Amino acid sequence: MGLFNSATQRVPEVAAIPKHIAVIMDGNGRWARKRLLPRIAGHKRGVETVRDLVKQCVQLKVEYLTLFAFSSENWRRPTEEVSFLMGLFMSALKREVVKLHQNNIKLVMIGDRSRFDAALITQINESEKLTANNTGLILTIAANYGGRWDVLQAVNKMQQAAPQLTGHYQEEHLTPHLSMSYAPEPDLFIRTGGEKRISNFLLWQLAYSELYFTDTLWPDFNEVAFNLAIQSYQQRERRFGRTSEQLSEPKN
């Protein structure tokens, strides 16, 4: 059994500061185009936003921050943009990993890394290894990640692990094989850039997350914008299927 059950099985504690925040960082291209710059300038600028957000999460004592950096569908973009993004990923990892380590941050990559080139795979492995024993913020980067891919790879692993249970699988057989089995499900999901969709991000894990959409483009998503998202989260009533009245009763 995984460390955390699905929210549909057990109602988690609700705190003022979300334990786990998952973000679709969208709007880099439009940010650049508005300034008559090439799209890649927006991606470059977006890395700065990541750095600031990580700092804010450390300050707020958020335990898990999960960022969607590249979807399994993003390979459909022009080759030059894809290779720029891969290069940016590589250079940002190289540049930032020591600082992450100094700040006790543990870096984890989820997604199918087999499609990346060998140098990038090595850099990812080394970055994970360096920060593996850190006990602060757990920063997960989803790259070549897709929610459907995740569920399917988990189904295949579950089948291999317990073939005798075929036809009788329960949630608790599947969840330990999901890419993020080490984390509770996201409390707060944020998507910048105005689109109101999940774009194949964490499909299984977002079942009971609070969803927050903002028109702010990713490079403009500063501390003020992030605080608005947290404030919005704090005004939500998380019921997990129960009634509002039940929530004011002493305990479940």
CA separation for the pair 97, 105 (Å, rounded): 9
Residue indicated by tokens 């109101």: 196
**Contact yes or no for 50/67 (Cβ under 8 A):** yes
Element holding 33 (H helix, E strand): helix 28-34
Residue 157 tokens read as 């692993």
Using CB under 6 A as the binding rule, the residues of this chain from 159 to 178 that contact ligand IPE are none
CA separation for the pair 224, 226 (Å, rounded): 5
Q: Is 74 in the site for ligand IPE (CB under 6 A)?
A: yes
Q: Which of residues 2, 6, 21, 29 is near ligand IPE by CB under 6 A?
A: 29
Q: Is 141 in the site for ligand IPE (CB under 6 A)?
A: no
Strands 20-24 vs 64-71: parallel, antiparallel or unpaired: parallel
Residue indicated by tokens 């992450």: 100
74 is catalytic: yes
Q: Which of residues 6, 28, 66, 123 is near ligand IPE by CB under 6 A?
A: 28
Nearer to ligand IPE, 26 or 150 (CB): 26
Using CB under 6 A as the binding rule, the residues of this chain from 81 to 120 that contact ligand IPE are 85
Instruction: By CB under 5 A, name the binding residues for Mg ion.
Output: 26
Kindly indicate which of the ranges 64-72, 111-119, 153-161, 162-170 contains the residues binding ligand IPE, using the contact rule CB under 6 A: 64-72
Query: Shortest gap between Cβ of 70 and Mg ion (angstroms)?
Result: 11
Kindly indicate which of the ranges 19-27, 127-135, 174-182, 240-248 contains the residues binding ligand IPE, using the contact rule CB under 6 A: 19-27
Given 5, 28, 52, 74, the catalytic residue: 74
Q: In angstroms, what CA-CA distances link 15 with 10, 184, 200, 237?
A: 16, 13, 27, 11
Q: Is 25 in the site for ligand IPE (CB under 6 A)?
A: yes
Query: Shortest gap between Cβ of 199 and ligand IPE (angstroms)?
Result: 4
**Contact yes or no for 207/8 (Cβ under 8 A):** yes
Radius of gyration from C-alpha coordinates of the chain = 19
Q: Which residue is nearest to Mg ion (CB)?
A: 26
Known catalytic residues?
26, 74
